[in-house]
A and B are shown apart, each in its own frame.
Chain A
Amino acid sequence: MKAFEYAAPRSESEVLELLSGEAGHTEVLAGGTDLVGLMKKMIVTPDRVVSLSRVASLKKIEADSTAVRVGAMVSLDELAENPVSEFYPAIRQAIDEIASLQLRSQGTLGGELCQRPRCWYFRDGHGLLAARGKDVVEGDSRFHAIFGNAGPAKFVCPSRLAPALVALDARLRILGPHSNDETLMPLEAFYRTPKSEREREFLLDPNQFVAQVILPHPEGRLSASYEVRHGAGPEYPLVSAASSILVERGRVVEARVVLGQVAPTPWISREAIDAIVGRPVTPETAEAAGEAAASVATPLRDNEYKVRLAKVAVKRSLLKAAGLETGGF
């Protein structure tokens, strides 16, 4: 690991004072489960690491009648065990799928959302776009994108919570660059598909950081997450889906269906949403929504199989949200 200066500020504004506006100069440390590994492999080589671990305001969960605000430094376990998570089954289920006590207690909500892609070309030092996508297309694309992959970015957004949080209309409270700057951003707008190596996969300037995640009250919406994993190990899922639905008089009147691990961003499936709105959730309508989602997939050479998994994940997340048998685990 390259030597760096370590800072552990006590307040949000002190964090901002320590962050540099220059890309690559400073890194924000949350639980460390991703960043420390990236630093060891010299994929990121900051001169200064700014730890959020001593900022008390980032460790709180606060709820009022309209929303729940979860601090970026709340651990995944703390969030799953907090009574507020009962209102957001999709989140609790996504955390429960993470099969490692260590990662759940060390990993934080903010870090989970800002972790870097798992793409093996990126992790091997070839950059996020790895020869403008050529490495993936000509190499091994088993775990790469099947949607939104027309440009040079072929990696998938690694976050396991983002699909659920996007489905639930979560917003981020982002601080910086200056001490009074605060941006409230829908999580779906936070992620972007980079077009050049200069762009990051999320809209965070080097001198900004995520302070809170704001979850609107579900107001009767039902939600669920479904992950397709290879065996029961600690690996990342192959495909996941999260659905949030509002059902009135037996029919879906509002829906959000979001796929994970299939595109450089969490993938909101307009096709699946259009297919399910206006209908009751049944095995047939859920299946049709899955078909609709998959109909616009553009798989690469080695990942055709993910199209089928996407169909199944959408179907099962809808059935699970509606409290019906999924036919899966």
Chain B
Amino acid sequence: MHIVVCIKQVPDSAQIRVHPVTNTIMRQGVPTIINPYDLFALEEALKVRDHHGGEVTVLTMGPPMAEEALRKALTYGADRAILLTDRHFAGSDTLATSFALSQAISQIGNSFDTPDIVFTGKQTIDGDTAQVGPGIAKRLNLVQLTYVAKITSIDLSARAITVERRSEGGTHVLKSELPCLITMLEGTTVIRRGSLDDALRAARSEIVKWNAAEAGIEDITKCGLRGSPTVVKRVFAPTPREQKAVQIDTTEKRVHDIANELVASIFTHQPALQHELSSAGSA
């Protein structure tokens, strides 16, 4: 069993401030952490490994200082860490990021062992797009299981995996073949703590560093700024809405009356909706 976990080093959003005048994010001096969802992905990967054997490789694309995040991942018990770093990757959007990561994952397959599962977090806490996981799956032609809260079982001989996927209003139980890509939610798992031995091993480990060529990337124009059609025009802190939520006192009135009043007030704001609904009702 070989599992690749993609992790991203992100600024600790709890400590980020938005500049009151320029409205830009003030990143200076903000400590970095591993994207929280990626930690849940890592924990899930380690559990699968501990149960079924094999290896966990952590992969990140980032500047040289992203090595810190990889070392941290090693202290949790990951077996191998790969840093994808090259000035050609600077300025990547989700398209370029997914491209570079998928190439690197193929290279990991060539150099070590073909992955049975690729994990990403559901989304990051800085970019927040939730696009990179699916982007990798598409490029590697992997079945994608998104918003997974839990892996319920893995049957290695049948090469099958069952997961719980959280969605609005319920839980999907999905069964799929391996290999697959999973984007991980916060999950139900408690994240383990590395031991002193793990900390020592992490400090002693070599981090594998690949530039674009070493990651098997031939077409540099698909990387970094050049490969990124996205333009971030402006980043700003949204102004709070004028409208405030209304608190309704239910002790005086019957719930049924309150509901009727609410529906009536919605219809005064949206007459078209009333029309649509009544014609749907009569049809």
A binds B: no
